[in-house]
Amino acid sequence: MTTPEQRLEALDLPVPEVAAPVATYVPAVRSGQHVFTSGQLPMQYGELLLTGKVGGQVGLEEAQRCAQQCALNAIAAVKSVVGELSAVTRVVKVVVFVASTPDFTGQPQVANGASELLGAAFGDAGVHARSAVGVSVLPLDAPVEVELVVEVA
């Protein structure tokens, strides 16, 4: 049996170190059998992958890659609380915020970058409810932000 960490490694998407918060909060909190992550930005090696608005400076495929990185960072936040990702029994809810131009309506397609990664990592347990919301601006001018709620054993 392979673990979520091994499945991500096989995709050349290893679980990163937990990104440092950009303000006064913690990356994730466990309450009972659930872990709630704070909003995760597309940070890699301490820097944003991209800045700007989707539909403007950021294209759809770039935004999907940002959503994927946000999901990886959220997975890292979960792992920091539970130790091993095999403790995750279900990805319950994913919320994806997309900083987009007023005429951009592809937020669900951007969110697929996160959803597909979660499916690859967790298999059937990665199937989740989801919201994809267009917003005018996100912290640090990030194009995408992702939050997770997962159930753990």
What CATH code would you report for 4-152? 3.30.1330.40
Contact yes or no for 151/90 (Cβ under 8 A): yes
Give pLDDT tens digits along the chain (153 positions): 699 999 999 999 999 999 888 899 999 999 999 999 999 999 999 999 999 999 999 999 999 999 999 999 999 999 999 999 999 999 999 999 999 999 999 999 999 999 999 999 999 999 999 999 999 999 999 999 999 999 999
